Amino acid sequence: MIEKQSKVPVYLQVQRFIEDLIEGADYGPGDHIPSERALADQLDVNRLTVRKAIDRLVSHGRLERNSTNGTRIPEPRLNRHVEPSPNFGSLTRAIQLNGGKPSSKLLHFELAKAKDSIASNLAIPVDDDILVIRRLWRVDDVPIIIETSYIPAATVPGLGAEDLIAGQSLYEILRERYGIVAATSNRTISVHVPTSFEEATLMLPPHSSTLLMRLIVEDANRRPIEYVRSVNHPVHVNFQTAPQASDKS
């Protein structure tokens, strides 16, 4: 199981064993893994080697320690619905409902020209002016989502970075200042290999994958008002579907 003569360090072999363990069918969020002593005995390795492997998984967010209950697989810090929600701009509320303390940080704000794909999603001509707004969302100071919004500049004259620098709600500004109210959205979710910037910002271990959600947000007249690209931490964010009615008669 552990090849002590291998060129791969023993602690990395132990780490991979634990990763396979927690990714298997027998373990899920909130479950405790075996103790350091039990793993050391099972793998016939030094307990300090097991501790080093677990320390690395804790630093990567794959495990978390509790001073009284041992080491467990973290619960997601945010549950996001796959289906469109009528309560737009509710990331703050969703985080609060999950028992966390939300915060956001403005990472990037610029006036740019709409490329083909962005223009198509916003139903505007190519090279029209758009605002590009990138924000980092945290829960209890843990980074969980990088969200980039693309908005036709003509619909939000005067909107500047200073309006969002303190974590203000974009949807509240759209509603209160511009009379723009989000009514519906089309969304797709896919597996995404993060860029080096996304990996560093979300504090991901090397070779991670993330969940990428793309949204086209529309007003009541089905006019696109925003295109969103949302990169979600693979451990801290969980996507779930709404309960379906039973087919039993």
Q: Give first-to-last CA distance, the chain, whole Å.
A: 51
Predicted local confidence at residue 36, as pLDDT: 93
Indicate the pLDDT class of residue 87, thresholds 50, 70 and 90: low
Nearest to 237 by CA among 197, 189, 196: 189
- Cβ proximity of 144 and 233 under 8 Å: yes
> Model confidence at 248, in pLDDT bands (50, 70, 90)?
very low
Least confident interval from 73-77, 106-110, 129-133, 177-181: 73-77
Enumerate the CATH 1.10.10.10 domain ranges in the chain, comma separated: 10-72
The secondary structure of residue 194, as a DSSP letter, is P
The DSSP call for residue 132 is E
**Over the stretch 125-151, which tens digit does the pLDDT of each residue have?**
999 999 999 999 999 888 999 999 999
Report the predicted TM-score, pTM, of the whole model to 2 decimal places: 0.77
Q: Where in the chain is the domain with CATH 3.40.1410.10?
A: 78-240
φ, ψ dihedrals at 218, nearest 5°: -125, 155
Helix, strand, coil shares of the chain, percent, nearest 5, are 30, 30, 40
User: Is 10-72 assigned to CATH 3.30.70.600?
Assistant: no
Q: What is the CATH number of domain 78-240?
A: 3.40.1410.10
